[in-house]
Amino acid sequence: MSDLGGLLSYGVFFLAQAAIFAVVCLGLNLQWGYTGLFNIGVSGFFLVGAYAFAILCGPEYPMRLGGFGLPFPVGLAGSVAAAALVAWVVGIPTLRLRGDYLAIVTIGIAATLQLVALNAQWLTGGSQGTGGIPRPLPEAADTVLGRNLLMLAVVAAVVVAVYAALEAVVRSPWGRVLKAIREDETAASSLGKNAFAFRLQAFAIGSAIMGAGGALHASFIGFVSPQDFQPVLTFQVWTMLVVGGSGNNRGAVLGALLMWAVWTLSGSLAQQLLPADLQVKGGAAQVVLIGLVLMAMLVLRPRGLIGEEAVVSREAEVGPARGAGR
């Protein structure tokens, strides 16, 4: 294959992965950006989506649940439902309490789900992982590039659909209540809004979107194993959202593309520059680098690159802009 062809297929592969991150990042944006919920168990909901898809659509293995061979949309819907269910269970005891408790419990559920993935042989295939997970429309393309392009199209369609749905939702009365609760829970409650119910809905929907991301990942890579769902994944998605601008869906997508580019470029740079025995240290340095970006962003530019738009009620007299968002 020529250099140009190689570059093209690499570009398609990169974009498909970045777009999967964009889906997950949009889910987190609904939770954190619009509702102010700290979910630091993103990797756990991603895991649930990925394994649910593998079980529903993947091939049959002896002594293991699965082999249903269901079509792609059914698998996607199943992943969404599974992730939403886990979020609902996790949310009930925690969303009534101070925000930090949700952070603690979500990091716990992510760690526990990883243990399940590692040990529940009958469900997940254990540490060996599970493979042969199909792509959508497996017969539609016969070259690697064609198959990857098709996958990119499917993932991009999901990004657009999720983006459009979230844009509509956050501008609806429901979305305004979420923001009101985020800004001042007492005031929102005094207007008769049940803060707990709204939080639970936003948390479950956001996690369901993360589950969809997991399903897309499982289908794209064709293989999942417990090592794919480390806390570093949660960290990557958070960095994407903070850099892009939380509370802004365009910011979430932009952050996913940008930070995934930074991640892969720094990764291949470390791979080329460092000798084999220092590769582990290269990976560590990569996380430290991204961490510095996150810290600097949080301290210097907490609104991110794009940031939340200031929304003024149509009823209000529009004067010179005073104070933006938060």
Partner 1 sequence: MIAQYAADGIVLGATLALGAIGLTLTYNILRFANFAHGEFLTFGAYFALVFAALFAGGQTLGPLTFGWGFLEAVAAAVVLTGLLALVLDRLLFRALRRSDVTVTLVIASFGASLMLRNVVVFVWGSRPEYYSREIAVRSELLPGVFMSADEVFVIGLTALAMLALALFLSRTRLGRAMRAVSDDPALARVSGIDVQAVIRWTWLIGGGLAAVAGALFGLTVQISPEMGFNMILPMFAAAILGGVGSIQGAVLGGLVIGLAQALSVPLIGAAYKPAVAFALMFLILLFYPRGILGGRT
Instruction: For residue 304, give the nearest of 323, 279, 320, 326 by alpha carbon.
Output: 326
Residue of the chain from 25, 57, 107, 270 that contacts partner 1 (CB under 8 A): 107
* Minimum distance from residue 284 beta carbon to partner 1 (Å): 4
Residue 100 sits in the site that holds partner 1 (CB under 8 A): yes
* Minimum distance from residue 97 beta carbon to partner 1 (Å): 6
Residue 194 sits in the site that holds partner 1 (CB under 8 A): no
Torsion of CA 156, 162, 168, 174, to 10 degrees: -170
Cα dihedral 7, 8, 11, 16 sign:
negative
Give the other-Cβ count within 10 Å of 80's Cβ: 24
Q: What are phi and psi of 256, to 5 degrees?
A: -60, -45
Please check whether residue 38 is in contact with residue 234, taking contact to mean a CB–CB distance below 8 angstroms: no
Instruction: For residue 25, give the nearest of 288, 292, 234 by alpha carbon.
Output: 234
* Minimum distance from residue 103 beta carbon to partner 1 (Å): 5
Q: What is the 3-state secondary structure (H, E, C) of 205-260?
A: HHHHHHHHHHHHHHHHHCCECHHHHCHHHHHHHHHHHHHHCCCCHHHHHHHHHHHH
The encoded tokens of residue 258 equal 């940008």
* Minimum distance from residue 39 beta carbon to partner 1 (Å): 10
Residue of the chain from 280, 311, 312, 324 that contacts partner 1 (CB under 8 A): 280
Burial level of 142, CB count in 10 A (0-12/13-18/19+)?
exposed
Residue 301 sits in the site that holds partner 1 (CB under 8 A): no
Residue 103 sits in the site that holds partner 1 (CB under 8 A): yes
Half-sphere exposure for 22 (CA within 13 Å, toward CB): 27
- List the helix and strand counts (H, then E) for the chain: 12, 0
Q: Which of residues 215-254 bind partner 1 (CB under 8 A)?
A: 231-232, 234-235, 238-239, 242
Q: What are phi and psi of 224, to 5 degrees?
A: -130, 145
Site mask for partner 1 (CB under 8 A), range 59-98, x = bound: ---------------------------------xxx-xxx
Residue 261 sits in the site that holds partner 1 (CB under 8 A): no
Q: Which of residues 117-146 bind partner 1 (CB under 8 A)?
A: 118-119
* Minimum distance from residue 293 beta carbon to partner 1 (Å): 9
Residue of the chain from 104, 137, 145, 305 that contacts partner 1 (CB under 8 A): 104
Our CB check for partner 1 shows the closer of 172 and 230 to be: 230
Residue of the chain from 298, 311, 312, 324 that contacts partner 1 (CB under 8 A): 298
- Applying CB under 8 A, the span of 53-61, 73-81, 200-208, 289-297 interacting with partner 1 comes to 289-297
- Interface with partner 1 (CB under 8 A), residue total 45
Give me the residues that bind partner 1 (CB under 8 A), please: 36, 38, 40, 92-94, 96-101, 103-105, 107-109, 111-112, 115, 118-119, 231-232, 234-235, 238-239, 242, 280-281, 283-285, 287-288, 291-292, 294-295, 298-299, 302, 326
